[in-house]
Amino acid sequence: MSVKIGSLEMKNPVTVASGTFGYGPEYADLVDLDRLGAVTVKGISAEPHTGNETPRTFETASGMLNAIGLPGPGAEGFIEKYLPFFEDYRVPLIVNIWGKTVEEYGRVTDILDAPARIDALEVNVSCPNVKEGGALYGTDLDLFQTVVEEVREKTSKPIIVKLAPNVADIKLFALAAEECGADGLSIMNSYPAMAIDIETRKPQLANRTGGLSGPAIKPIAVKLVWEAAQAVNIPIIGMGGIYSTEDALEFIIAGASAVAVGTANFTDPSTAVRILEGIESRLAAKGVAAVDDLTGAVRI
Ligand SMILES: Cc1cc2nc3c(=O)[nH]c(=O)nc-3n(C[C@H](O)[C@H](O)[C@H](O)COP(=O)(O)O)c2cc1C
């Protein structure tokens, strides 16, 4: 069941998606964190950040819209407030990072490079909900490469680049990340979307638009994982509407080496552990020796 992403060793292929599992402690009474392949925490920037006005979430058919806007304690705040908590756990820790400028991506990487307890950085270049940086870095190939190069230069920890779904050709971004030294890819972030209250005629989110996540986006994510997996040799963490063992296996067969459970955590925080147990028993029942054997096993 183990998976390697650069020097990051996950004992199983199931993690949680950034922003849907807090910073870890919030879920520790509900889930045995050490069962997970890794904990991926909410996005961290160099400085503390307040995020967007409310309402910041809205439920849609088979999913949700969010425009949280990446509130957080900043890199120093994270190290001070949350990192000591992980000393009692062995689970690998992936910290999701973002910046408003290329320089900020460099600075947050510099600060988070120091603590040995942080095992890997996931580079969010695809948040649809912040005005500066965010999605722009994920959809403009030149800017995208500049950010990945900047982060690569500042750390020797594994870096996992989280791709935006709203690009014409995901293979170009996947390849560019690999060429700039990424150790892995996360696919996908939420999809830019909007909902309007027809009585007030106002957008349902204070930010007007947000990111769509949950079961509604799963087929989009499976396609993007499949396309990217054909273009690169680095491992992919697949995510987007994973609620069940079957969903997770679909991503793995499409080309993912690991999966992340996101929006499902809001309805059942034990989803990731349930999926992990489900994959184990499925592999045993089908006589598949290693989860690796299923990665990219789609028959075309
Ligand atoms: C409330 C919420 C907050 C999120 N915050 C972040 C974040 O801080 N950084 C990030 O890279 N992705 C963030 N995401 C995107 C998720 O990590 C994930 O890529 C996306 O939701 C698709 O997976 P899902 O459909 O299983 O939720 C967030 C998603 C939601 C729903």
Q: What is the mean pLDDT of each run of 10 residues along the chain (300 residues)?
A: 97 98 96 98 95 95 94 96 97 96 95 98 82 76 95 98 97 98 98 97 97 98 98 98 98 98 97 98 94 96
How far is ligand 1, taken at its centre, from the CA of residue 20, in Å? 6
Catalytic residues: 127
CA distance 72 to 78: 8
Q: Which CATH number fits domain 3-294: 3.30.1780.10, 3.20.20.70, 3.40.1280.10, 3.40.190.10?
A: 3.20.20.70
Q: Quick one: pLDDT at residue 127?
A: 72
Q: Which atom of ligand 1 is nearest to the CA of 261?
A: 26
How far is ligand 1, taken at its centre, from the CA of residue 111, in Å? 23
Query: For a pocket test of ligand 1, which of 20, 70, 78, 224 has the largest count of ligand atoms closer than 8 A to its C-beta?
Result: 20
Q: Is the CB of 207 under 6 A from ligand 1?
A: no
Q: Is the CB of 94 under 6 A from ligand 1?
A: no
User: Can you give the C-alpha Rg of the chain in angstroms?
Assistant: 18
Question: 298 with 255: CB under 8 angstroms?
Answer: yes
Q: Quick one: pLDDT at residue 131?
A: 60
Instruction: Estimate to the nearest angstrom the gap between the alpha carbon of 223 and the chain centroid.
Output: 17
User: In Å, how far are 79, 94, 100, 150, 191 from 155, measured between CA atoms?
Assistant: 16, 14, 19, 9, 29
CA distance 49 to 77: 11
Q: Quick one: pLDDT at residue 136?
A: 78
Q: Is the CB of 100 under 6 A from ligand 1?
A: no
CA distance 74 to 78: 6
